Structure 1
Amino acid sequence: MRILHTSDWHIGRTFHGVDLLTDQARVLDAIAALVAERGVDVVVVPGDVYDRSIPSADAVTVCNRGFEAIRDAGALIVATSGNHDSAARLGAGAAFSRAGGLHLMTTVAGIGAPVVLEDAHGPVAFYGIPYLEPEITRAQLDVPSARSHAEILDAAMGRVHTDLDARRENAPRTRSVVLAHAFVVGAEATGSERSISVGGVETVSASAFGGVDYVALGHLHSPQTLTENIRYSGSPLPYSFGERTHGKAVFLVDLDADGLHSVERVDLPVVRGLKQLTGTVQQLLEDDAFRDAEDCYVSAVLTDPERPVDAMRSLQTRFPFAVHLEWQRPDGADDLRYRDKVHGRSDLQITRSFLTDLRSEPTTGEIRLVEAALGYADRTGEDTAEVVALEQTA
């Protein structure tokens, strides 16, 4: 049996305010094309199908079309819910969708009730472990004292093993695949994932998944191999500039009669690249060295001596997908600790520096006003007529 492992679609997500639905539709089409090209039997999606618990109508349309394209390409689909999904909403109509080859496993009660598919070597049991919030699911899992994700996952895997052991009594060659949405010890976050910590304890051990032929993980956004049979496929698109160097991919997993036979990483096409650029507004607009960023999402660090006015509008004349910018003074003064910046300086010098950092060098009239205000602060109770007069003339 050939399985394609993908996860964390986050359909409906925006990128610095930019709608990604078109990009997401394109990458789902690429996954469907891969299914057809490589003869995939089952596509597994361990969570975060949507980016929000209540997805927009457009997001639902893109997701459904993606599912349809994968089914048309010849694969069944097994999916679980993640911490971004609403398990109840994603799983609504699960019994009906199962008839069409889409198996949505979103309930605690269903953890020990796998989807069982057959190949030439016998049955393969697919167990779906949705995102499990300890506070909400511990009673359902009969572990009322559990507080951590590790304790909850151990209880969930206990149900998996109970069912799998019973099946192997009748069909000893039953193979197993677990879909789980969790943060496993040893994996690396990218920064674009939402924290699932509860009391600071969000990680689980890879050893919890012992005795399973393949574990398809979701939640972290970069492809990672924890052990040969425990992997994160990562998200199909980058969702932060911290992911700009991550090649997005899926895993093709082949099971034979004895279990896991091989795993192949297949890189996904880059729908739109990410670039981080540094320079003045003029340099970014004129330098040919930045030509390859013109069709990418751009994050710019501006080094102009003074804060540029309407910089984003200017940059978007060349980089229409510029989505983020920040101004960094070229002298690097912003990197100094505040205590070091003010040590040994007068109140007037500190205030003048603050105004310069915030906007630009203050005018002579503004300096006179500051001097008067500082003087008044030192003469508590003194008549403010002088300050008022200076305000009117500054």
Structure 2
Amino acid sequence: MRLLHTSDWHLGRSFHGQDLLSAQRAYLEHLVDVVASRAVDVVLVAGDVYDRALPPVDAVAVADEGLHALAAAGARVVVTSGNHDSARRLGFGSRLVDLAGVHLRTTLDRVGEPVLLHDEHGPVAVHGLPYLDPDVARAAWGLGSRSHHAALAEAMVRVRADLAGRPGTRSVVLAHAFVSGGQPSDSERDIAVGGVSAVPLTLFDGIDYVALGHLHAAATLSPTVRYSGSPIAYSFSEAGHRKGSWLVELGPQGVVDAELVEAPQPRPLALLRGTLEQLLGDPQHAAHEQSWVQATLTDPVRPVQPMDRLRARFPHALALRFEPEGRDAAAEPAPPPSTRDPLDVCLDFVSHVRETPASADEVALLRRALECCPDDRDLALERALATAERGSP
């Protein structure tokens, strides 16, 4: 039996203001092509179909189109809810769509109820575990403690109880969790409870294949336990990730082979560091001119209009950071007292950020900004500081 393991689609999510819905649609079309060309029997979607509990209507349409196309290509599809999904919304009509070969597992009451599949080697029980919120699981199952470990351990007790009544049946589990050994990135939502979010790998001992979701980096935690990661990068911390889906061959005794099938990407990511002049002039950066760029500028004095100048060479630059070389972070000045003259506060801000004083034209511009709202000190400061941040026209 061939399994295609994917997760963390996050349909509806953007990337630093860039709409990703067309790239997400292209990824689902890619999955359909893999199903057809590689004779995939079942697609496993381990949570976070959507990026938020109430997804945009366009994202729902993309999910509907994708799931329909996967089923039409001949694969059974098992989908679980993640911590970003609304279990109730994603699972609407689940018993009805079961009949179409798309199996939604989003509620605790169906934990331990497998999707039963068959191949020439016999039966396979696929147990889809939704994201298990510790508070919800504790109340529903009467658990003795409030933790991810307790919730997932109880779910696996129920899975093993079902498998005990099916001797000779191979087992597959989908889980949306932070399992020890996985590598987090900046784009996952924190699921820590009481400071602890990770659960041990040993919870899945004896399962033939475990398809994990939540962490966005593809990873092999053991020969039978893997994260597929997100199909698209959702933060610059994912710049080094290989994005794709695991194509898993399940033989009569368990996993025979696993291959990461790489997914199409809207653009490569590039993390560039140096002074603005270095980034604009260094020929070695030519390969990144069409990438999404995060630039970290090390100029000792903040350049004027750095993003505009950066985009002259890198039109898809999206993020800018400043880490001046030689500046002592511990020596940063304390916030100015509220009793100080607002113009002095603004001039200090300019000097602190750029390490050069404001010009005469800039002083005049800041004074005019403050004079626009003389009766509202806070609004005046807000406008003037915004003016200082932009610089002179």
TM-score by length of 1: 0.82
Gap runs ≥5 in structure 1: 343-350, 366-394
CA distance in 2, matches of 1:183, 1:224: 12
Aligned counterparts, 1:40-119, within 5 A:
40-119=40-119
- 3-state secondary structure, aligned to 1:357: helix
- 3-state secondary structure, aligned to 2:145: coil
CA shift in 2, pair 1:328/1:260, >3 Å: closer
Partner of 1:382 in structure 2? none
CA distance in 2, matches of 1:37, 1:332: 55
Indicate the RMSD between aligned Cα atoms, in angstroms. Answer: 2.4
Q: How far apart are residue 296 of structure 1 and its match?
A: 1.3
Identity across aligned pairs (percent)? 50
Q: Does 1:326 align with 2:326?
A: no
Partner of 1:346 in structure 2? none
Alpha carbons 1:114, 1:126 under 8 Å: kept: yes
CA shift in 2, pair 1:68/1:319, >3 Å: farther
Report which of the two structures shows the higher radius of gyration computed on alpha carbons: 1
Alpha carbons 1:27, 1:271 under 8 Å: kept: no
CA distance in 2, matches of 1:206, 1:113: 22
Q: Which runs of at least 4 in structure 1 moved beyond 6 Å after TM superposition?
A: 351-354
CA shift digits 1:252-285 (9 cap, x unpaired)? 1112222332222323233310011234445544
State which of 233, 236, 245 in structure 1 corresponds to 2:240. Answer: 245
Q: How far apart are residue 244 of structure 1 and its match?
A: 0.6
Partner of 1:124 in structure 2? 124
CA distance in 1, matches of 2:312, 2:86: 40
- 3-state secondary structure, aligned to 2:67: helix
Q: How far apart are residue 137 of structure 1 and its match?
A: 1.7
CA shift digits 1:314-351 (9 cap, x unpaired)? 4334433211112333x421x44228x99xxxxxxxx9
Q: Does 1:146 align with 2:145?
A: yes
CA distance in 2, matches of 1:201, 1:12: 29
Q: How far apart are residue 201 of structure 1 and its match?
A: 1.8
CA distance in 2, matches of 1:23, 1:301: 27
CA distance in 1, matches of 2:203, 2:121: 27
TM-score by length of 2: 0.82
Partner of 1:186 in structure 2? 181
- 3-state secondary structure, aligned to 1:220: coil
CA distance in 2, matches of 1:361, 1:205: 53
Partner of 1:338 in structure 2? 331
CA distance in 2, matches of 1:355, 1:232: 47
Partner of 1:372 in structure 2? none
Equivalent residue pairs, number: 350
Aligned counterparts, 1:363-382, within 5 A:
none
Give the partner amino acid of 2:326: G
Of stretches 86-95 and 352-361 in structure 1, the one that deviates more from structure 2 is 352-361
Gap runs ≥5 in structure 2: 335-344, 361-393
- 3-state secondary structure, aligned to 1:139: helix
Q: How far apart are residue 127 of structure 1 and its match?
A: 0.5
